[in-house]
Structure 1
Amino acid sequence: MRSIRGLLILSALITLSLLFPPSSAHATPGDLTCTENESVTYSPGLLTTPRPVDVSVHNVLSCTSLTDPAVISGHVQATIRGLTRSCSDLAASGKGSYTITWHTGHTSTIDYTRSANYVLGTLVIVESGTVTAGKFTGASTTHIVELANLNLPACLTEPGLTTAAGIGTYVFA
């Protein structure tokens, strides 16, 4: 798993450095990096057929910033209600927005585009975005999360797939 994560992070950093060279308007690539522990709950659980569910996400971030050393942690806490989803939607692409709350009390709202694929049985989600409001406004972001050990057989019967957990990385540039 580490080698996959390392390759994904390296790829994201190289892409960011090519697409967003350093300028006075943005931080340099890798200026703010965060590791995360992510947990997701689905209520009711996901099945093989789509149905309305509430999706709750909780991410705990541990960060390092070269230009703002005060930023050392943050979290994302969000619930999206009434999404029509199934287990087959886990690897779906899409767009969205969420807010990171930093331990300093500041927030960063990120608009993103999401892609996902299964890599050796692990769901790997890549979100490329931009900070549209709050701290780090204008910075580009890459968020990569690996949801390992998904209990996909749970999709076949009630209560369905009710939880997922993983680790990830954020890179702000």
Structure 2
Amino acid sequence: MRSIRGSLVAVALIASSALIASSPAQAAPGDLTCTETESVSYSPGLLTTRRSVVVDVDNVLSCTSLTDPAVTGGRVRATVRGLDRSCTDLAASGSGSYTITWNTGETSTIGYTRSANYVLGTLVIVESGTVTAGKFTGDSVTHVVELLNLDLLACLAEPGLTAASGIGTYLFT
């Protein structure tokens, strides 16, 4: 009886290992979490009135994944030219997409909607979305970033608000 039970346990373990190995590379709930440091620059600087600016974003991620331990970090780099912005619309809601390049060389494209609010001089941005292409396709993504200690008085005169930085988190489910 013990040898039959032991054989059944071994078969079950082999079968479950085969199922896990053949599954697509998709994160389990709460599997992939990342912390980030975010840097944003505006050229020319933002004022209280809208004008065309170039926005450079550089986010560096440090990540932990239980199903794909090779993913330990990532980066989002983007330059948007000719964007009409002012200090007053930093907290505007919106939608868009961006791509994370993982330390493994793979990418994930995320489509998102965002909301933002000022809390005691900190701009808190919450993005909710889905991985639409690449690694972790189909996963839901929640991204929260806090742009700390914004100098909104800089918006009143040239050169304006030229930079912002902060910290954030990503959760893939």
Give the TM-score normalised by structure 1: 0.84
SS at match of 2:90: helix
Identity of counterpart residues, as a percentage?
A: 79
2: CA distance, partners of 1:111 / 1:145: 16
Specify the alignment match of 1:33 in structure 2. 33
1: CA distance, partners of 2:143 / 2:76: 12
Residue 98 (structure 1) aligned with residue 102 (structure 2): no
Specify the alignment match of 1:74 in structure 2. 74
Specify the alignment match of 2:148 in structure 1. 148
After TM superposition, the structure 1 stretch with the greater mean CA deviation from structure 2, 127-136 or 113-122, is 113-122
2: CA distance, partners of 1:29 / 1:91: 29
- What number of residue pairs does the alignment pair up? 150
Matches within 5 A, 1:45-64: 45-64=45-64
- Which sections of structure 1, spanning at least 5 residues, go unmatched? 1-23
Residue 83 (structure 1) aligned with residue 89 (structure 2): no
Where in structure 1 do 4 or more consecutive aligned residues deviate above 6 Å?
none
Does the 8 Å contact 2:40/2:57 carry over to 1? yes
CA RMSD of aligned residues (A): 1.2
1: CA distance, partners of 2:79 / 2:94: 17
Spell out, residue by residue over 1:40-78, the C-alpha distance to the aligned partner (whole angstroms, 9 max, x if none). 000110000000011110000000001101000010000
Specify the alignment match of 1:114 in structure 2. 114
1: CA distance, partners of 2:108 / 2:27: 14
2: CA distance, partners of 1:89 / 1:127: 16
Specify the alignment match of 2:161 in structure 1. 161
Question: What amino acid sits opposite 2:172 in the alignment?
Answer: F
